Amino acid sequence: MSHVSIGLLVGVFVGCVSVVGLGAQSPGGNAAARKLKNPVQATPQSITAGKDLYAKNCRSCHGADAKGDGPMKPKDSHPSNLTDAEWTRGSTDGEIFTVVREGAGPEFLMKGYKSRMTEQDTWNIVNYIRSLGPKGSQ
């Protein structure tokens, strides 16, 4: 096997490990996601953009007031109350970002929005969620 082929295989393996490390989150949080820093300042414009995106993508399950009581939540599910002090999937901006992007495991009733939303849009949603309630650990 040539050096180029080995290099490509190593690169693919490292890329896959990186994606798995930031994959969908189960309760308890995600150490790799916890290290992500929010690159989008929580300006009024970002929060307003996040609010609009939340209304379009999240409100049907999490509810208009983000209490987890939306009319379209999957049967027998309990979407997170995004305004309370309990953040079971992690409370840092990076963990919230990862849940929105990759989904919420282990059942994946909440699918990720990675293919439907830009990173900027996802960070705007994080900033909006932060504006709703407890800040958690940053």
**CA 60/CA 73 separation, integer angstroms:** 7
Specify the pLDDT at position 36: 96
Domain that holds residue 30: 3-132
* pTM of this prediction exceeds 0.85: no
Asked whether residue 40 is domain-assigned, the answer is: yes
What CATH number has the domain bearing residue 29? 1.10.760.10
Structure tokens at 52: 């609009």
Q: For 22-78, how does the pLDDT look when each residue is reduced to its tens digit (9 = 90+)?
A: 555 667 788 999 999 999 999 999 999 999 999 999 999 999 999 999 999 888 888
Asked whether residue 92 is domain-assigned, the answer is: yes
What is the count of structural domains for the chain?
1
Specify the pLDDT at position 135: 53
Q: Which residue has the tokens 């699918």?
A: 111
List b or e across 28-43, with b for residues whose CB sees 16 or more CB atoms inside 10 angstroms: ebbeebeebebebebe
**CA 93/CA 130 separation, integer angstroms:** 8
Specify the pLDDT at position 134: 67
